[in-house]
Structure 1
Amino acid sequence: MTNEVTVPLLPCASIDDIVAFYEVLGFHTTVKQRKPNPYVALQREDLHLHFFEIAGFDPEQSYGSCVVLTTDIEELHRAFAGGMRAAYGKVLVSGMPRMTRPRARKNSDGLGGFSVIDPGGNWIRVFQNAARTSTPTTMPAGRLAKALANAVVQSDSRGDAQQAVRIIDSALARPQADDDPAAQVEVLVYRAELAMVLQDQETATEMLDRAARVVLSADETVRAAPSFETAADLAAALR
């Protein structure tokens, strides 16, 4: 048989909050019931997510998670980000719900990925489908890039922003003459994102200011463009 479909069933405190959030991301409701148990089924093209409500459920303590494989993580992230901007005036980068941006994952053979943390505390982990990818993935080289890769594993994969901060702060405290300026921008912007996750707006503002002051060549400016796009989203969230 080749037509099987697996659909994750995830917990939440309120299916109404879940519906409101996922509608922002372009999902629609296919099934919704209150009895005998609160339950909702959501769909966005071929992506199906189902949720059940638990009285007294604490999203902060949730272990709910699932993996979504797609052929184009950048396109899906842009669609989700566009929905957030239209609904909230910004991309949600802190609190719950929130969304990380696409980054290569050291613990997933360098495949790109991002996560949506929904109102139920569930981590929807979106990855590039390796089976549909013909170009081999290599992790960036260099001291700062390696520190960033380790920090991404801690925060974007494990949800440990504090450990990611320790890794990044250690790297930033030891600048070297041969550090790649584009990588420096990316690290500073990621440090700002971590600060937002930890509700530290002062540090987030400081890191964005530092990133804006990094001197870049024309080539480095092109390579740093995705980081500056993220910085713009963070700055909007700070306002």
Structure 2
Amino acid sequence: MANEVTVPLLPCASIDDIAAFYEVLGFRTTYKQRKPNPYVALQREDLNLHFFEIAGFDPEQSYGSCLVLTSDIEGLHRAFAAGMRAAYGKVLVSGTPRMTRPRARKNYDGLGGFSVIDPGGNWIRVVRHASAPAEPATAPEGRLARALANAVVQADSRGDVRQAVRILDGALTHPRADDDPVTQVEVLIYRAELAMVLHDPETATDMLARAERVVLGEDEIERAAPAFENAAELAAALR
């Protein structure tokens, strides 16, 4: 058989909150009912997500999750980010809901991905479709790069932010002369992002300031540009 479609059915505390959030990301409501059970169906192009409401549901205890396979991770992230900026004045990087940035994940063959954590605590994991062209994955080189890769797996994939913090803090506590300065910037800015997830604005501010003080050469400034774009988003969220 062919042309089958699988649609995730995910829990939430309020279908109204879910619908409002996903409309910000460019979805539209295709079906909604209150009785006999609250239920909402949402669609954005070929992406379909359905939700059911549970009275007293705690999003922080949710195990709801699904994969979204796409050939354009960056484009989808930009579209979601634009919707957040228009609705909230910033990209949501802490609390629930929030969205992570596209990053290579060593537990997904080094290919990029990002996650949306919605108001129901569901993790919508956006990953590159296996058939989509991608740069060959390379193993992270250097102590800091390995620490960063491990931290991304813990926080962005497993949701264990505190373990990711322990990994990065251990790497940052023992700097070495041969540490790549661009990777140092990336680690500091990611550590700032994790601090915001943990509602620790003082640490986030400190990490962003430390990243600004890293001395970079001309070519290194160009390599670090994406990380500093993230830093600008974080700084805006802190204000």
TM range (shorter): over 0.9
Aligned to 1:233: 233
Distance 1:181 1:123 in 2: 32
Aligned to 2:211: 211
Aligned to 1:115: 115
Q: CA deviation at 1:134?
A: 4.9
Give a deviation string over 1:75-129, Cα, whole Å, max 9, x none: 1101101110110000000000000000001111101010000000000000011
Secondary structure, in 3 states, of the residue corresponding to 2:69?
Answer: strand
Matched, 1:5 2:9: no
Structure 1 ranges of 4+ moved more than 3 A: none
One-letter amino acid of the counterpart of residue 98, structure 2: R
Matched, 1:163 2:163: yes
Aligned to 1:97: 97
Aligned to 2:66: 66
Figure out how many residues of one structure are paired with residues of the other and give that number. 239
One-letter amino acid of the counterpart of residue 87, structure 1: A
| Greater Cα shift, 129-138 or 59-68 | 129-138
One-letter amino acid of the counterpart of residue 30, structure 1: T
Residues 140 and 88 of structure 1: CA distance in aligned 2, closer, same or farther (over 3 Å)? same
Aligned to 1:174: 174
One-letter amino acid of the counterpart of residue 68, structure 2: V
One-letter amino acid of the counterpart of residue 23, structure 2: E
Q: Is the 8 A contact 1:111 1:130 kept in 2?
A: no
Give a deviation string over 1:168-223, Cα, whole Å, max 9, x none: 00000111111111101000000000100000000000000000111111211111
Aligned to 2:43: 43
Secondary structure, in 3 states, of the residue corresponding to 1:130?
Answer: coil
Distance 1:61 1:140 in 2: 33
Aligned to 1:28: 28
- Matched residues, percent identical? 81
Distance 1:169 1:64 in 2: 29
Matched, 1:140 2:137: no
Distance 1:166 1:146 in 2: 14
Gaps in structure 2 of 5+ consecutive residues:
none
Matched, 1:128 2:136: no
Q: CA deviation at 1:38?
A: 0.5
Gaps in structure 1 of 5+ consecutive residues:
none
Q: Is the 8 A contact 1:104 1:139 kept in 2?
A: no
Distance 2:155 2:183 in 1: 18
Matched, 1:149 2:149: yes
Aligned to 1:192: 192
TM-score (structure 2 length as normaliser):
0.98
One-letter amino acid of the counterpart of residue 93, structure 1: V
Distance 2:114 2:139 in 1: 16
Distance 2:97 2:175 in 1: 34
TM-score (structure 1 length as normaliser):
0.98
Q: CA deviation at 1:139?
A: 3.5
Q: CA deviation at 1:23?
A: 0.5
Secondary structure, in 3 states, of the residue corresponding to 2:56?
Answer: coil
| Greater Cα shift, 5-14 or 127-136 | 127-136
Distance 1:22 1:134 in 2: 28
